[in-house]
Amino acid sequence: MFPPIREELRGLEPYGAPQLDVPVQLNTNENPYGPSEACVADIAASVAEAARGLHRYPDREHVALRTALADYLARDTPHGIAVEQVWAANGSNEVMLQLLQAFGGPGRSALSFAPTYSMYPEYARDTSTTWVQGRREGDFSLDLQAAAALVREHRPSVVLLPSPNNPTGTALPPEAVTVLCEAAASSEPQGLVVVDEAYGEFRREGVPSALELLPVHRNLVVTRTMSKAFAAAGLRLGYLAADPAICDAIRVVRLPYHLSAVTQAAALAALRHAPELLGKVDELRGERDRTVSWLREQGLQVADSDANFALFGTFADRHAVWQDLLERGVLVREVGPAGWLRVSIGTPAEMAAFRQALSDVLVREEGQP
């Protein structure tokens, strides 16, 4: 057999949405707005400066970047965030893989509640961590009693929960975080609860960030990314906030100099432009709410969304709808429970194209026997 790949990986396809070159790409929850010329110039100048020192390894502890990230996070919690509580890596995917490398492994388990982000079972598989999957309710919320009971039964080392959830858009209420942190803390060794706030900045008015709960639960980890609200998916920068002892444990498994000098310089420059890069978030939230209402007016089911996408359906043949939209130049994502499709929120022009294309497809569907 060649190549002599691990038994459990044999025949598997790599994760990833189709990258198709179509006019309206609404399939990977990117921010549709790019950086301004001023921001581009600042990033370029910072990277040029970093280039002068490329014969040296970068700051392994990326202290300047962690300090800037801590300052940025402090706006979402009255308790503040210290630099020792922050850790960054190449995308929040790498942050979560590092968490599983440090806290999962053979004889340990990780748990989430489906439907959810399909990378989680891959982190578990790649670190030989047993994967346990609970279920969400029909409205994609969690039954807290059942969820806590599942945690007490399996004693997972890591519970992974996106808030808002991908692909449903569902935010976790603070009491859910508390119930799960308490259930995970009741085993020995304690389990960690990772709240993945990749879409945190898009949450609706009045929905708090789990960052507020960090002083209460030592086993809580909140992850964030610059890929979505921050409009920097190409940068590959994700980070977490947690107890400093959790950051110290990750330090043991991280590769030396995992964050390049170029990445650190570009991320620092992008953070200096945070107000601009985040400026479009409010517009996107408005566009999201209008998209959800419009889909409901078409008689479709739509999950309540605190993110920059909407899950809608249900279709007897969702693949046919996906294909018909693609033929009209609109790429959405075929993901989530059977019958549902997910659309990322784009610019007003992109959403108009999406509405037009979907209207055409729905009329055609109705015309069929």
Ligand X SMILES: *Cc1c(COP(=O)(O)O)cnc(C)c1O
Residues in the site for ligand X, rule: CB under 6 A? 29, 91-93, 117, 162, 166, 196, 198, 225, 227-228, 233, 238
Q: Least separation, in Å, of the C-beta of 299 and ligand X?
A: 28
**Contact predicate 163/112, CB 8 Å:** no
**Contact predicate 174/208, CB 8 Å:** yes
Q: Which is nearer to ligand X, 93 or 263 (CB)?
A: 93
Q: Least separation, in Å, of the C-beta of 198 and ligand X?
A: 3
Burial (0-12, 13-18, 19+ Cβ within 10 Å), 75: exposed
Cβ neighbours of residue 8 closer than 8 Å, sequence gap 6 or more: 125
Q: Least separation, in Å, of the C-beta of 223 and ligand X?
A: 7
Cβ neighbours of residue 254 closer than 8 Å, sequence gap 6 or more: 89, 98
Q: Which is nearer to ligand X, 202 or 294 (CB)?
A: 202
Q: Which is nearer to ligand X, 197 or 287 (CB)?
A: 197
Q: Which is nearer to ligand X, 58 or 162 (CB)?
A: 162
Q: How many CB atoms lie within 10 A of CB 255?
A: 11
Tokens of 295: 């889909």
Q: Which is nearer to ligand X, 77 or 92 (CB)?
A: 92
Q: 174-185 and 144-154 are packed helices; what angle lies between their axes, rounded to 10 degrees?
A: 20
Q: Which is nearer to ligand X, 117 or 294 (CB)?
A: 117
Q: Which stretches within the chain are classed as H helix?
A: 37-51, 63-73, 92-103, 120-126, 144-154, 174-185, 244-253, 261-272, 274-277, 281-297, 318-327, 348-367
Q: Least separation, in Å, of the C-beta of 108 and ligand X?
A: 21
Q: How many CB atoms lie within 10 A of CB 30?
A: 18
Instruction: Give the residue nearest to ligand X (CB).
Output: 91
Q: Least separation, in Å, of the C-beta of 316 and ligand X?
A: 27
Q: Which is nearer to ligand X, 164 or 313 (CB)?
A: 164
Cα–Cα distance, 99 to 95 (Å, whole number): 6
Q: Least separation, in Å, of the C-beta of 366 and ligand X?
A: 33
**For residue 162, what are the CA distances in angstroms to 137, 223, 270?**
15, 9, 24
Q: Least separation, in Å, of the C-beta of 288 and ligand X?
A: 15
